[in-house]
Structure 1
Amino acid sequence: MSSTYVEFIKEYSEFIESTILDEPTFLAKLPDYITDESVLAEPDSLFGRLVGIDGWNTWRRGAADMAVRTGIQFAASNSQYFQNGDTVLHYYDIEFSPREGYPDGWRTSIIERYDFADGKIATLTEYYADTTAFVNFFA
């Protein structure tokens, strides 16, 4: 299974982007990627530590609210994957569209650490290049 983790993450990322505003589809397909013991670890200033289906859905609701409230669009680029056994690091840049106070939009980098168990995400830890600037952009 470990040879397919990068493809799994790409599929998971597409799933997240396509269902961020579609809770029923999100909840129906999420068990393909995580278990109810899976941990999503975000910086405390964002969502903090969330667990299982309910935790991931709490994250989705918050992310959907930020997207709808701000009306921003985003594009990810420069994806790089580094795998060692059951752990994969995914580095990428993300560029957000302009909004009030940010006429040129905003760009940052994110690193996601995926730890897998039994073919699913056991822990997903998010690292932001500048968490404070991220929070300020969406305030």
Structure 2
Amino acid sequence: MPNKAILCVDDERIILTSLRDQITRNFGSEYQCELAESADEALEVIEELDEEGIAIILIVSDWLMPQMKGDEFLIKVHEQYPHVVTVLLTGQADEEAVERTRQYANLHSYLPKPWDETTLVEVLKSGLEKIDE
């Protein structure tokens, strides 16, 4: 089992299922794909994987979620894990939130919903290349 993971965070199960299927199809042999339905659940997943020696290297997060918005979540993660590549995937984010995420969470890319698999794969590949540099 790979010791590196891509984490997808969205409060809609159908979005998570689509992301998991596309990521597994394109990166399944190299990276685990983990899912979380909220920012709080995602923080727990990150902690559990960290304890197991599995590194979260890339996070794809929705912006509009209950309790904690995606930009707040990615900023929080970046403070503790500055090496994690972040992608904001949403149909709802305002420009201020995207810019805040760029400044404070080292945002790699912003993908609007709906997305297509080719674009997602290109964004993830370019983000993963940043890690290998």
Q: TM-score, normalised by structure 1?
A: 0.27
- If each structure's helix is expressed as a fraction of its own residues, which one has the higher value? 2
Q: TM-score, normalised by structure 2?
A: 0.28
Q: Which has the larger radius of gyration?
A: 1
